[in-house]
Amino acid sequence: MSDLASLIQPVPDFPEPGILFRDITPLLLEPGGLGGVVDRIAREFAGRGIDTVAAIESRGFIFGAPLAVALGCGFVPVRKLGKLPRPTRSREYRLEYGTNHLEMHEDAVRRGQRVLIVDDVLATGGTARATVEIVEELGGVVVAAVFLLELAALNGRGLLEGREVRALLSY
């Protein structure tokens, strides 16, 4: 697999002026790109007793589902408000450019389950923090939060203080 950083394409002014979006689709187009990322994360977390992977909509799903298969554990979709059909728990969070809500089914995580949170990008940390709060409210234990890339200048780690945070790339 080629160097990961070379496969991430910067896109200025998306989705709003002043935002530099990091497009992961060139990585996904590369033969072995997705599998290589999943393999790297799976090797790091194998043997750590992960019961389920909670992946954040929507690009977190790209890595989260195959990671759950690789780790031999369950998969929990963390969705935007109104996308799940059964009773949910939700949280509002802040983005670089506004606010939104995330939710999970109330029965998605059982008390004591060890959960690995997965998303593509750690930016301001709002989506990851909201996911941590829901998992912990449901009684789950957050083992770590892992990301393909981190936008370090936005200090998203600050909202995840006291938890293990991993990113394959940092900008």
Residues involved in catalysis: 59, 96
Tell which phi-psi region holds residue 38, choosing left (phi > 0), alpha (psi between -120 and 50) or beta.
alpha
C-alpha distances in angstroms, 99 versus 92, 94, 126, 130, 166?
7, 4, 9, 12, 24
User: 3-state DSSP call for residue 150?
Assistant: strand
Give residue 126's identity as a one-letter amino acid code: G
Alpha carbons 126 and 56: distance in angstroms, whole number: 11
How far is CA 126 from its chain centroid?
Answer: 11
What residues contact residue 32 under an 8 Å CB cut-off, 6+ apart?
1
